[in-house]
């Protein structure tokens, strides 16, 4: 950046974004990131994609650069979920969990990729992530295995409704 237009490059921390992230389970952990980069060397997505860098993602979280994180086709979906960064982080930031919290925010905004929607849709139908198919039980029978056990979907669906407000008296 040139010094003359440095004024335009001032980054204002977006606290609303950071508060929303902190509401997610383990979303607030990025606050402990001191940008050492231990997560980067072990990251297979970084090795194979120039766009993905967990240290940069944590930095953007610290600044609250929502627009760079939570758009359509977000780079966050390139995470391989290998948990290497969780293993390496000396601050126990668990970058992969911060990324998952950000993905929860993407899902809240209707920006999850089709693969995620397919998994959820299948699960809502039969409680599994593999669609029902009569061939499955036939295959199982060949190995002397009983049919797949049914999943009590009434229980599952009851659990998935929105969280009722604590202490709302309802």
Partner 1 sequence: MTRYAFFPGCLIPARHPAMEFAIRSTLPKLGIEIVDLDGASCCPDPIYFKSKDKLSWLTVAARNLTLAEDLGLDIFTNCSGCTATLSETYHLLQDEELRDRVNHRLARIGRKYRGTSRVRHIATLVRDEVGYDAVRESVKRPLDGLRVAIHYGCHLLKPSRIMQVDNPDDPQVLERLIEALGATPVRHGNWYLCCGKACDGDEIPNQMMHDLLTTVHQEKADVLGMICPTCFGQFDHGQMKIAKLFDEDFHTPPIYYFQLLAFAQGVPYERLGFDRQRFKPIALQRYEEVATK
Length of the chain: 170
Whole-angstrom distance, CA of residue 142 vs CA of residue 111: 42
Q: Shortest approach of partner 1 to residue 159 CB, angstroms?
A: 5
Q: Find the Cα–Cα–Cα–Cα dihedral 148, 149, 155, 157, rounded to 10°.
A: 10
Could you give the C-alpha distances from 40 to 45, 92, 96, 114, in angstroms and in order? 9, 14, 12, 27
CA-to-CA dists, residue 12 to 34, 45, 67, 87, 99, angstroms: 19, 29, 13, 31, 21
CB nearer partner 1, residue 13 or residue 118: 118
45 binds partner 1 (CB under 8 A): yes
Question: Which parts of 117-156 interact with partner 1 (CB under 8 A)?
Answer: 119-120, 123, 127-130, 136, 139-140, 142-145, 148-152, 155-156
* Secondary structure of residue 98 in the 3-state scheme: helix
Contact between 81 and partner 1 (CB under 8 A)?
yes
Give the nearest distance from C-beta 4 to partner 1 in angstroms. 39
CB of 57 to partner 1, least distance (A): 15
Residues within the interface to partner 1 (CB under 8 A): 24-26, 44-45, 48-49, 77-84, 86-87, 94, 100-101, 103-104, 106-107, 112-113, 115-116, 119-120, 123, 127-130, 136, 139-140, 142-145, 148-152, 155-156, 158-161, 163-164, 166
């Amino acid at each position: 950046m040139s010094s003359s237009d440095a004024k335009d490059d001032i980054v204002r921390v977006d606290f609303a974004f950071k508060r929303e992230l902190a509401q997610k389970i383990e979303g607030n952990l990025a606050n402990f990131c001191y940008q050492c980069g231990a997560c980067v060397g072990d990251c297979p997505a970084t090795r194979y994609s120039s766009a993905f860098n967990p240290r940069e993602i944590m930095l953007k979280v610290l600044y609250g650069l929502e627009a760079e994180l939570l758009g359509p086709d977000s780079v966050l979906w390139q995470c391989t979920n290998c948990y290497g960064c969780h293993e390496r982080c000396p601050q126990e930031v668990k970058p992969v969990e911060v990324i998952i919290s950000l993905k929860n925010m993407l899902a809240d905004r209707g920006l999850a990729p089709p693969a995620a929607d397919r998994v959820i849709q299948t699960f809502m139908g039969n409680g599994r992530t593999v669609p029902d198919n009569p061939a499955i039980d036939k295959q199982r029978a060949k190995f002397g295995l009983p049919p797949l056990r049914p999943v009590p979907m009434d229980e599952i669906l009851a659990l998935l409704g929105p969280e009722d407000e604590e202490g709302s008296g309802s």
